[in-house]
Amino acid sequence: MKVLVIGGGGREHSLVWKIHQSPKVSKVYCAPGNGGTQKIAENVDIKADDINTLARFAEEEGIDLTVVGPELPLTLGIVDEFEGRGLKIFGPNKKGAEIEGSKGFTKDLLKRYGIPIPRYAIFDSPDDAKRYIKEIGAPMVVKADGLTGGKGVIICHKEKEAIKAIDLIMEERVFGKAGDRVVIEEFMEGEEVSFMVFTDGEKILPMVSSQDHKRIYDGDKGTNTGGMGAYSPAPIVTSDIFREIMDRIMTPTITGMAKEGRPYKGVLYAGLMISEGSPNVLEFNARFGDPETQPILARMESDIIPIIEGVIDGDINKVEDIRWKEGASVCVVMASEGYPRSYQKGKRIEGLEAAERLEGVKIFHAGTRLSQGNLVTDGGRVLGVTALGMDIKDAIEKAYRAVSLIHWEGVYYRRDIGRRAL
Question: How are beta strands 204-206 and 191-199 bridged, if at all?
Answer: antiparallel
161 plus 195 within the same structural domain? no
Output the domain CATH number for residue 81.
3.40.50.20
Q: How many C-beta atoms surround the C-beta of residue 235 within 10 A? A: 16
Q: Are 62 and 40 in contact (CB under 8 A)?
A: no
Q: What is the pLDDT of residue 391?
A: 97
Residue 105 lies in a domain: no
Compute the distance between CA of residue 309 and CA of residue 319 in angstroms, rounded to an integer: 9
Domain limit, last residue, from 265, 296, 318: 318
Output the domain CATH number for residue 398.
3.90.600.10
Q: What is the mean pLDDT of residues 295-302?
A: 98
Output the domain CATH number for residue 268.
3.30.470.20
Q: What is the pLDDT of residues 112-158, one digit of tens each?
A: 999 999 999 999 999 999 999 999 999 999 999 999 877 889 999 99
248 plus 311 within the same structural domain? yes
Residue 108 lies in a domain: no
Q: What is the pLDDT of residue 150?
A: 75
347 plus 410 within the same structural domain? yes
In 306-394, beta strands by DSSP E: 328-336, 361-365, 368-371, 374-377, 381-389
Residue 405 lies in a domain: yes
Q: Are 135 and 121 in contact (CB under 8 A)?
A: no
Q: What is the pLDDT of residue 320?
A: 80
Residue type for 169, please?
I
Domain limit, last residue, from 186, 212, 245: 186
Residue 280 lies in a domain: yes
Q: What is the pLDDT of residue 321?
A: 85
Q: With a cut of 90, say whether residue 14 has pLDDT above it.
A: yes
155 plus 213 within the same structural domain? no
Q: What is the pLDDT of residues 340-363, one digit of tens each?
A: 999 999 999 999 999 999 999 999
Q: Are 109 and 99 in contact (CB under 8 A)?
A: yes
200 plus 221 within the same structural domain? yes
Residue 303 lies in a domain: yes
Q: What is the mean pLDDT of residues 45-59?
A: 98
216 plus 308 within the same structural domain? yes
Q: What is the mean pLDDT of residues 409-419?
A: 97
- 3-class DSSP state of 267: strand
Q: What is the pLDDT of residue 187?
A: 95
Mean pLDDT rounded to a whole number for the chain: 96
Q: What is the pLDDT of residue 229?
A: 98
Q: With a cut of 90, say whether residue 421 has pLDDT above it.
A: no
Compute the distance between CA of residue 221 and CA of residue 162 in angstroms, rounded to an integer: 17
Q: What is the pLDDT of residue 151?
A: 81
203 plus 172 within the same structural domain? no
Output the domain CATH number for residue 164.
3.30.1490.20
Q: What is the pLDDT of residue 317?
A: 87
Question: How are beta strands 368-371 and 229-232 bridged, if at all?
Answer: unpaired
* pLDDT over 90, % of the chain: 95
Q: With a cut of 90, say whether residue 223 has pLDDT above it.
A: no
144 backbone dihedrals φ, ψ, rounded to 5°:
-65, 140
283 backbone dihedrals φ, ψ, rounded to 5°:
-165, 160
Q: Are 272 and 280 in contact (CB under 8 A)?
A: yes
8 plus 72 within the same structural domain? yes
CB contact set of 25 (below 8 Å; sequence gap of 6+): 1, 2, 3, 19, 305
308 plus 344 within the same structural domain? no
Domain limit, last residue, from 186, 207, 222: 186
Distances (CA, A) of 153 to 33, 87, 187: 28, 35, 12
Residue 32 lies in a domain: yes
81 plus 179 within the same structural domain? no
Q: What is the pLDDT of residues 69-110, one digit of tens each?
A: 999 999 999 999 999 999 999 999 999 999 999 999 999 999
Question: How are beta strands 27-32 and 2-7 bridged, if at all?
Answer: parallel
Q: What is the pLDDT of residues 110-120, one digit of tens each?
A: 999 999 999 99
Residue 103 lies in a domain: no
Cis peptide preceding 263, ω within 30 of 0: no
298 plus 250 within the same structural domain? yes
Residue 69 lies in a domain: yes
Q: What is the pLDDT of residues 159-198, one digit of tens each?
A: 999 999 999 999 999 999 999 999 999 999 999 999 999 9
pLDDT band at residue 386 using 50, 70 and 90 as cut-offs: very high
Range of the domain at 351: 328-421
197 plus 300 within the same structural domain? yes
How many domains, in total, are found in the chain? 4
